[in-house]
């Protein structure tokens, strides 16, 4: 079937976008096999070249290798993350260790490494451009950090660890997808749903039917510990049931899936890998090439925020407990109470409640008149809907991304709504990476998990979901506006604690008065949001930020806790260890659990943020500082967008990250704007 396998040739679609209509499940395994053999032949030719190593015959040649495998992997990843089937998951489990071995075959190849290392040792005499020097430094570090300088017996152990880790991470991701189905809450009494609005109730009924229930309402779980209905359900018993269904995921309750053995083994193997490479722990290895450089710097940043956050939390908790007493609800304050009564307090304080706002946050208008409007104002790009490109699910849509001069700069796909075959959360992925070397323009997708409305209705969002749309578009434009030579340095291929800067920066535009007024229109009447309501929204923006920040800090500190352990220190009881870490850092508040717990922490045990979940807050320092700087100038100004594009977004990883920020901002950031953004300083100081 090889000649007919569409994965083994470039797609004929614009910019070589994946042809999802032509690809079938049975194409993937043979395509992976052929593509891996093809790349190994390519790199063998590079390593076996009898000519002295040059940038062109070694580094540029490595960048040209593996194009078929990149195409297969990216298409496969699109489906396994956003539209997984049992068949695809079986293939994923099979191919994951083979891909790990394939990477080791390249980066533990001594002949190939010696060519790269020879260039690196002679780097000062090579007359390289800035981007070429960056690529040399990057690729040499990849080899060294993979174990290229280890003795053969140590390399053999590295190979075994990588193979097992790839299988375990795959299983963890698949378990989380199954847990979301397993732990969804079926409600059989209509009165128990009191507090939810009509669209949410009808969507829950549709979800129940889709899962094969003849009646009732199904509350699906999102990725985080807290669940959106907790802010609205008046039935305290149902709130408790929903919260426990979420927070106890992966504990094996009632014979369900138990992810604790996976967590322990992943942590153990990562610690062993790090020590083989000469590092004290996985975090030291993982952060070496990040902006933070060392786990102590990341931990210090997080710990420095704990005191002001706890002060805010104490005030918020006192207000909530007072509201509970006023309603005759007995204490103590439980985690399933916080968001519900916080919503009550917000209504008291700001005359504002979520159901008053949501009719003005209709998805299509937020997307077109909010997100796309902002990108056009800042960067001069427009998004033109297409209907001719094949997609993997009817909900997915595609867009040409058009420059001000009419030139196409790439393609953008959007997959907005939740479904059982999609993992939780929101993310950006690359189908085709921009590269001048390969003559490729970018093809980018944003995937979200918004609640799909019932047939004939519109999707109404919360402000959290609106900011998520802006956030993921920040990642998307980082990929779409990339303008570098080498695919390894393109778009979002930067340090984890820098990659969240462009995305977090975009979040604040959701609240900018010019932007908000443009998209916030009533879903039925089309009337603009009333000025006094807009003022109340902006006044309430920092409400409950103690809670928001503490749940994040707890998760980030938990991540570092796991990954600063040595191989002999891995705990037998993940729950007890989690409690100890949170208590040690003073963030063990029963009413505010971590945003993710160890047993369902996808970024850390199933994704690429292990030891680096702190990156969101680190990047937020940059984002808040940059946004405050722009607001002190001209706000939503194309000139500022041009500078951000030229200094940061177009450059990918072709330069040193802090220097790129300084090129844009004119100075290194301070934490002042972050503290104001999070409401962690008095209003007078902001």
Provide the 8-state DSSP code for 634.
T
The tokens for 598 are 């160890």
Q: What's the confidence (pLDDT) of residue 683?
A: 44
First to last CA, the chain: 64
Ordered structural domains, the chain, with CATH: 2-149 (1.10.1370.40), 183-241 (no CATH), 259-321+544-686 (1.10.1370.10), 360-539 (1.10.1370.40)
pLDDT digits (tens, 9 = 90+) for 298-329: 999 999 999 999 999 999 999 999 999 999 99
Query: Has residue 14 got a pLDDT over 70?
Result: yes
Task: Tell me what the mean pLDDT of segment 242-267 comes to.
Answer: 96
Query: Has residue 653 got a pLDDT over 60?
Result: yes
- Under the banding of pLDDT at 50, 70 and 90, the label for residue 2 is low
How far apart (Å, rounded) are the C-alpha atoms in residues 445 and 475?
Answer: 10
Which residues pair with residue 413 across a beta bridge?
398, 445
pLDDT digits (tens, 9 = 90+) for 587-621: 999 999 999 999 999 999 999 999 999 999 999 99
356: nearest Cα among 201, 510, 549, 540 = 540
- 444's CB contacts (< 8 A; 6+ apart) are 410, 411, 412, 413, 428, 429, 430, 431, 476, 479, 480, 491
How far apart (Å, rounded) are the C-alpha atoms in residues 579 and 451?
Answer: 33
Provide the 8-state DSSP code for 18.
-
- List, in sequence order, the alpha helices (H) in 249-372: 260-276, 282-287, 295-326, 335-350, 354-357, 363-365
What is the three-class DSSP state of 334? coil
Q: Are 103 and 146 in contact (CB under 8 A)?
A: yes
Which string of b and e fits 184-205 if b means at least 16 CB within 10 Å? bbebeeeebbebbeebbbbbbb
Classify the C-alpha dihedral 145-150-152-155 as positive or negative.
Answer: negative
Q: Are 611 and 563 in contact (CB under 8 A)?
A: yes
How far apart (Å, rounded) are the C-alpha atoms in residues 601 and 179?
Answer: 12
The tokens for 295 are 């786990």
Q: What does each C-alpha distance from 609 to 237, 274, 438, 559 come to in angstroms? A: 35, 16, 29, 9
CB neighbour class for 528 (10 Å; exposed up to 12, middle 13-18, buried from 19):
middle
Q: What's the confidence (pLDDT) of residue 428?
A: 98
Q: What is the pTM of this model?
A: 0.95
Query: Has residue 1 got a pLDDT over 60?
Result: no
Angle between helices 25-47 and 67-82 (to 10 degrees): 150
| CB-side neighbour CA atoms (13 Å) of 558 | 30
The tokens for 159 are 């190979």
Query: Has residue 241 got a pLDDT over 60?
Result: yes
Determine the distance from the C-alpha atom of residue 664 to the mean position of all C-alpha atoms in its chain, rounded to a whole number.
24
Angle between helices 545-563 and 615-631 (to 10 degrees): 140
Q: Are 545 and 316 in contact (CB under 8 A)?
A: no
Q: What's the confidence (pLDDT) of residue 636?
A: 86
Q: Hunting for tokens 């540029």 — which residue is that? A: 60
How far apart (Å, rounded) are the C-alpha atoms in residues 348 and 342?
Answer: 10
461: nearest Cα among 587, 358, 542 = 358
- Under the banding of pLDDT at 50, 70 and 90, the label for residue 187 is very high
- Strand-pair category, 382-386 with 397-402: antiparallel
607: nearest Cα among 461, 425, 399 = 425
Query: Has residue 685 got a pLDDT over 50?
Result: no
491: nearest Cα among 630, 375, 649 = 649
Torsion of CA 661, 664, 668, 670, to 10 degrees: -100
- Strand-pair category, 408-417 with 443-450: parallel
The tokens for 404 are 């001000």
Task: Tell me what the mean pLDDT of segment 112-119 comes to.
Answer: 98
Query: Has residue 44 got a pLDDT over 80?
Result: yes
Angle between helices 295-326 and 335-350 (to 10 degrees): 70
Active site residues: 472
Least confident of 364-368, 525-529, 613-617: 525-529
Average pLDDT, the chain: 95
282: nearest Cα among 615, 686, 619, 609 = 609
Q: Are 100 and 36 in contact (CB under 8 A)?
A: no
Task: Tell me what the mean pLDDT of segment 46-62 comes to.
Answer: 97
Provide the 8-state DSSP code for 258.
B
- 418's CB contacts (< 8 A; 6+ apart) are 220, 222, 449, 450, 451, 452
Give the helix/strand (H/E) hosting 409: strand 408-417
Instruction: For residue 234, report the phi and psi dihedrals to the nearest 5 degrees.
Output: -80, -20
Angle between helices 152-182 and 86-107 (to 10 degrees): 160
What is the length of the chain? 686
pLDDT digits (tens, 9 = 90+) for 82-115: 999 999 999 999 999 999 999 999 999 999 999 9
Query: Has residue 684 got a pLDDT over 50?
Result: no
């Amino acid at each position: 079937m090889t000649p007919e396998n569409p994965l083994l040739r470039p797609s004929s679609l614009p910019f070589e976008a994946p042809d999802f209509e032509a690809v079938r499940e049975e194409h993937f395994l043979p395509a992976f096999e052929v593509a891996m053999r093809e790349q190994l032949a390519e790199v063998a030719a590079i390593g076996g070249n009898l000519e002295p190593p040059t940038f062109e015959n070694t580094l540029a040649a490595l960048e040209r290798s593996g194009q078929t495998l990149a195409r297969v992997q990216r298409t496969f990843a699109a489906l396994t993350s956003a539209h997984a089937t049992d068949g695809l998951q079986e293939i994923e489990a099979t191919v994951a260790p083979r891909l790990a071995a394939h990477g080791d075959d390249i980066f533990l190849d001594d002949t190939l490494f010696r060519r790269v290392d020879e260039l690196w040792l002679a780097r000062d005499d090579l007359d390289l451009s800035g981007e070429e020097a960056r690529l040399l430094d990057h690729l040499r570090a990849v080899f060294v950090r993979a174990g290229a300088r280890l003795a053969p017996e140590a390399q053999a152990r590295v190979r075994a660890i990588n193979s097992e880790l790839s299988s375990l991470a795959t299983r963890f991701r698949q378990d989380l997808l199954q847990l979301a189905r397993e732990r969804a809450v079926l409600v059989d009494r209509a009165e128990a749903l009191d507090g939810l609005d009509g669209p949410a109730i009808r969507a829950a009924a549709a979800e129940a039917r889709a899962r094969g229930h003849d009646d009732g309402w199904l509350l699906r779980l999102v990725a985080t510990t807290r669940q959106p209905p907790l802010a609205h359900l008046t039935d305290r018993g149902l709130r408790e049931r929903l919260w426990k269904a979420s927070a106890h995921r992966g504990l094996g309750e009632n014979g369900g899936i138990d992810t604790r053995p996976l967590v322990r083994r992943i942590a153990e193997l990562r610690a062993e890998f790090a020590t083989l490479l000469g590092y004290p722990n996985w975090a030291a290895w993982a952060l070496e090439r990040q902006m933070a450089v060392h786990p102590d710097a990341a931990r210090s940043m997080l710990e420095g925020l704990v005191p002001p956050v706890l002060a805010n939390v104490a005030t918020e908790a006192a207000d909530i407990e007072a509201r509970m007493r006023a309603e005759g609800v007995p204490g103590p304050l439980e985690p399933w109470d916080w968001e519900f009564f916080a919503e009550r307090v917000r209504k008291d304080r700001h005359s504002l409640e979520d159901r008053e706002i949501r009719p003005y946050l209709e998805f299509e208008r937020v997307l077109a008149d909010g997100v796309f409007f902002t990108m056009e104002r800042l960067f001069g790009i427009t998004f033109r809907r297409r209907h001719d490109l094949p997609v993997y699910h009817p909900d997915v849509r595609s867009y040409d991304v058009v420059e001000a001069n009419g030139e196409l700069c790439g393609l953008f796909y959007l997959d907005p709504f939740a479904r059982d075959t999609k993992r939780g959360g929101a993310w950006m992925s690359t189908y085709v990476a921009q590269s001048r070397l390969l003559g490729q323009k970018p093809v980018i997708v944003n995937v979200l998990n918004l609640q799909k409305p019932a047939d004939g209705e519109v999707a109404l969002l919360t402000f959290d979901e609106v900011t998520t749309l802006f956030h993921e578009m920040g990642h998307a434009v980082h990929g779409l506006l990339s303008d570098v030579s080498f695919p390894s340095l393109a778009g979002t291929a930067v340090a984890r604690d820098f990659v969240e800067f462009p995305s977090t920066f975009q979040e604040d535009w959701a609240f900018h008065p010019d932007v908000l007024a443009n998209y916030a229109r009533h879903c039925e009447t089309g009337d603009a949001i009333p000025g006094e309501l807009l003022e109340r929204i902006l006044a309430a923006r920092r409400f409950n930020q103690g809670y928001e920040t503490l749940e994040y800090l707890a998760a980030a500190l938990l991540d570092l806790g796991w990954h600063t352990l040595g191989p002999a220190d891995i705990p037998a009881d993940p729950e007890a260890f989690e409690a100890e870490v949170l208590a040690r850092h003073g963030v063990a508040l029963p009413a505010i659990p971590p945003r993710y717990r160890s047993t369902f922490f996808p970024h850390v045990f199933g994704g690429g943020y292990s030891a680096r979940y702190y990156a969101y807050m680190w990047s937020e320092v940059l984002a808040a500082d940059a946004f405050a700087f722009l607001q002190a100038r001209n706000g939503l100004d194309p000139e500022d967008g041009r500078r951000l594009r030229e200094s940061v977004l177009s450059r990918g990883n072709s330069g040193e990250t802090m220097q790129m920020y300084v090129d844009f901002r004119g100075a290194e950031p301070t934490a002042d704007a972050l503290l104001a953004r999070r409401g962690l300083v008095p209003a007078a100081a902001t």
